[in-house]
Amino acid sequence: MVTKPVIVGRSSSHFTRVARIFAAELNVDCDFRVVQNLMASDPSDYGGNPALKMPTLLTSQGAWFGALPICRELARQSSLRPRIVWPEDLDTPLLSNAQELTLQAMATGVALTLGKVSGVPEENAHRIKMQQSLLGTMAWLDMHVAELSRALPVDRDFSFLEVTLFCAVTHFEFRAVVAISSYPALKAFAESFSVRPSASATNYRFDP
C-alpha cells in the first residue's frame, strides 16, 4: 500500500521535471524513485508503464502514467488551490500551437537523444528530419514566446505551458540537443522562470 506519492523518473528527464515542478508548486510531498536503466524493457522499471516511459506517479489509488495526468492528480491531491492554466484553457491559435509545439519538441528531443546514444548515424534520413523539425519548432517558439506571457491569463499562478516550455528549453541546453544561444527570447524566458523555487529545486543532473 503506497501512502506518500512516488514519482518514478530520472533527474535528467524533462517530462519528469514537469511533474516535479508541479509537485513543488502544489506543495505535494513526493518520494522520488530513479529509473535505473533507460534501456530496460520491463514495465515495472517504469512504475508499471507498459509504454516504457517516465514519469509515473504511484499513489494509493494506483499508477498514473504521463506528465499531464500526473500534474492533474497532484493538483487534486494538493490542499492549495492555485490558478493553474491547463492545456484545455488555451483557446487561441497562438497559445494552443505553443503548447502543441512545446510537447512535440520534447518528444522529438527524447527521440534524438535516444537515437544518438543508441548509435543512429548522423546521416540517417529520419534523424535529419527530426533535427529540422526541432529547429523549426524552436524558431517558432522563440519568435512567439514574448507574446505568450502577455496572452496567458494575468491572474494565473502558473501554467502547464510555461512549465513544459521551461523544462524543454533547459533540457535542450543540458543535453546540448540544440544551441540555446541561437534562441535569445527562449533563453530570457527560461532565465526568468528559473527564479522560482520549484525550478531551482529540480535542476537537471544525471542520477548516479
Ligand X SMILES: N[C@@H](CCC(=O)N[C@@H](CS)C(=O)NCC(=O)O)C(=O)O
Q: Binding residues for ligand X, per CB under 6 A? A: 13-15, 38, 52-55, 66-68, 110, 114
Are 69 and 21 in contact by the 8 Å Cβ rule? The answer is no
Q: Specify the residue, 75 or 185, whose C-beta has the smaller distance to ligand X.
A: 75
Enumerate residues 6+ apart whose C-beta is below 8 A from 190.
166, 169, 170, 173, 180
Give me the DSSP letters along 89-111. G--SHHHHHHHHHHHHHHHHHHH
In the complex, minimum distance from the CB of residue 4 to ligand X, in angstroms, rounded to a whole number:
21
Question: Which cell is 153 given?
Answer: 491569463
Three-class SS state of 134: helix
Distance between CA 77 and CA 80 in Å, rounded?
A: 9
Q: Specify the residue, 153 or 208, whose C-beta has the smaller distance to ligand X.
A: 208
In the complex, minimum distance from the CB of residue 146 to ligand X, in angstroms, rounded to a whole number:
26
Q: Specify the residue, 20 or 53, whose C-beta has the smaller distance to ligand X.
A: 53
Q: Specify the residue, 86 or 185, whose C-beta has the smaller distance to ligand X.
A: 86
In the complex, minimum distance from the CB of residue 191 to ligand X, in angstroms, rounded to a whole number:
22
Q: Specify the residue, 13 or 202, whose C-beta has the smaller distance to ligand X.
A: 13
In the complex, minimum distance from the CB of residue 170 to ligand X, in angstroms, rounded to a whole number:
12
* Helices (H), ranges, 45-159: 67-77, 93-117, 125-151
In the complex, minimum distance from the CB of residue 200 to ligand X, in angstroms, rounded to a whole number:
20
Please state, in angstroms and as integers, the Cα–Cα distance from residue 9 to each residue in 68, 130, 191, following that order: 14, 24, 24
